[in-house]
Amino acid sequence: MPEVNGRVTRLLHLSSMMLAITQSPARLHVFHIPQQELIGSLDLGEGGDVTAILHPATWLNKVLIGRESGVVQIWNIRTGYKLVVRQI
């Protein structure tokens, strides 16, 4: 597997992909497991450390990311777009 910069703090296995969250900088890295390659990386922006990552079973290509500041982000990992940001 390719290496990424920053300390990996969260992992999520999703079908044939592995999602890794790094801090400093806060990024979401998407790996394709069978081909052992990095598909892409998303800059998560400001909001503190990532405290949770979740893939709802019925949401295609989307993950929820919870941040230390109380922000919840919804990202489409296929397109790289941040769909929703909410302060809780």
Domains for the chain: give ranges and CATH numbers.
7-87 (2.40.10.480)
- Model pTM above 0.75: yes
Which string of b and e fits 20-47 if b means at least 16 CB within 10 Å? bbbbeebbbbbbeeeeeeeeebbebeeb
Give the tens place of pLDDT for each residue, 49-85: 999 999 999 999 999 999 999 999 999 999 999 998 8
Give phi and psi for 53, each to the nearest 5. Answer: -140, 135
Render pLDDT for 11-51 as a digit per residue (tens, 0 to 9). Answer: 999 989 999 999 888 999 999 999 999 999 999 988 889 99
Query: What was the pLDDT predicted at 37?
Result: 94
DSSP state of 46: S
Confidence tier at 1 by pLDDT (50, 70, 90) = low
